[in-house]
Copies of this chain bind each other. A is one copy, B any other.
Amino acid sequence: MSEKTIQVNLSPERKPKPESNQLGFGKIFTDHMFVMDYTEGKGWHDPRVVPYQPLTLDPASMIFHYGQTVFEGLKAYLTNDNRILLFRPERNMQRLNRSNDRLCIPNIDEELALEALKKLILVDKEWIPTAEGTSLYIRPFIIATEPFLGVHASNSYQFIIILSPVGSYYKEGIQPVKILVESDYVRAVAGGTGEAKTAGNYASSLKAQEVASQKEYSQVLWLDGLEKKYIEEVGSMNVFFKIDGEVVTPALNGSILEGVTRNSVIHLLKHWGVPVSERKISMQEVYDAYKAGKLEEAFGTGTAAVISPVGEFFWKDEKLVINEGKTGEISKRLYQTITGIQNGTEQDPFDWVVEVHQEAVAK
C-alpha cells in the first residue's frame, strides 16, 4: 500500500443532520474530516479520512504563536438529478500552493488533495443539503504544528479538510449590501501577505469590520495601504464597478486575493461581449462617476455569496446610493448564470464544473 493511498476510518456514530431551512453558515460540521501530516525529511504522508474530531496540539505548536497557516474555501453542490458538482476546485488547490509559497509552507500535491476532497465528500455525501441555494462548504487548511517558540518555518504541519452544510446566502432573494469605505485601517500592502489566503489578513480586518458594523455597514471596502486612494477588495470578496457601460475591477497587484469567482465573472463578461477591464481604480474615480450619474452597478464576488450587489457605499461622510439601492442587471445575470452552472441547471460553456463520481474515487 502506497504512502499516498487515502485510508478511510469511518465514524461509528453519526450526528443528526440539520433541516435544510435551519442551515446558517459555518456552524455545523459533518461526521468526517480529512487529515494528512507533513514531517521534515518525510514529506506529506498518511492521508486519511477520519471521524470529525478535535485536534490535539502541544500549546507550543507554532500555529498558536506565529500564524504560519493557509486556507481555502469552496463548495460542493447537489444537482436535481443527484450528481455532486465542484466549481473549478483545481483553482483553489493552485491558490493554496501559492499561499503556501508565501508562508514558507511545503507545497501539497494538488491532485492528491483534490482526490482527498472528493473522497471525503463521498463519505459524507448525505450531508450535502438539497434546498435551493444550499451547498456543502469545504474548508481545506494547513497549520504549523512544531512545538517551538522561535520565529522560523515549522518542520511539521497538518493539512486538514472539514465540511459544513450551509444555507442559502440570500434567503429572501438576492439583496444589495451597504459597504463602508475604510480610510483608517489597512488590510494589506504590496510586499505583505494580501495575495495569500492566510489567517493574519483576516485577523487584521476585524477591527475595521467592528467599526463598520457599529455604523450598520455590513462590510468594509479596503483601499490601498500606501495612498489610501485605490480600491482593493471587500472583506472576503473582490469588487466590480459598472461605469458608463464598462465593468471595471482592480487589477491583481500583489495585495488582493485572486478570487475564483472574480476570474469566472471576467470570463463570463468577455463571453457575453460586455466590456470589462482589470486596472487600477481610485475611490475618487468611482465617486466622480457616481456624481456624473455613470456609476450603474457595483458588486462583490466570492464563494460564499457568489455575487453580492452593493446598494450603498459610505465614503468621507457621504452616502453613494447605487442603482437606487437595487440589484442591477449585470449582477442578476451573473448570479443566475454562475449559480446555475454550479448546481447543474445552466450550460457550462467553459467546463468549469467537476463531477464527483462515486466509482472514480472508490477504487
Contacts and interface: CB of A to CB of B under 8 A. Distances in A.
Interface string A163-186: 010000000000000000000111
Contacts of A187: 192
Contacts of A184: 191
Contacts of A192: 185-189, 192, 204, 225
4 A-B pairs with the lowest CB-CB distances in the bound complex, closest first: A200-B200, A67-B199, A26-B149, A186-B191
B200 A199 contact: yes
A104 B203 CA distance: 9
B54 A64 contact: no
Given A189-B186, A200-B193, A202-B66, A153 B26 contact: no
Interface of A: 25-27, 29, 33, 52-61, 63-69, 71, 73, 102-104, 137, 139, 141, 143, 147-153, 160, 162, 164, 184-193, 198-207, 209-210, 225-226, 235-236
Contacts of A162: 59-60
A65 B186 contact: no
Nearest to A102: B207
A201 B200 contact: yes
Contacts of A57: 54-55, 57
A222 to B, nearest CB: 10
Contacts of A199: 63-67, 199-200, 203
B66 A203 contact: yes
A227 to B, nearest CB: 8
A231 to B, nearest CB: 16
Nearest to A160: B59
Contacts of A210: 104, 153
Given A59-B55, A160-B59, A103 B186 contact: no
Contacts of A58: 29, 54-55
A68 B203 contact: yes
A148 B200 contact: no
B26 A60 contact: yes
A164 B149 contact: yes
Contacts of A191: 184-186, 225
A190 B235 CA distance: 19
Given A56-B56, A203-B200, A204-B200, A151 B209 contact: yes
7 contacts: A27-B148, A29-B147, A52-B59, A55-B56, A65-B69, A151-B205, A188-B192
Given A29-B60, A55-B58, A189-B192, 13 more contacts: A27-B148, A27-B149, A53-B59, A59-B162, A60-B139, A63-B199, A64-B143, A65-B139, A66-B199, A67-B201, A67-B203, A189-B225, A198-B203
A207 B57 CA distance: 25
A151 B202 contact: yes
A52 B210 CA distance: 35
A52 B93 CA distance: 37
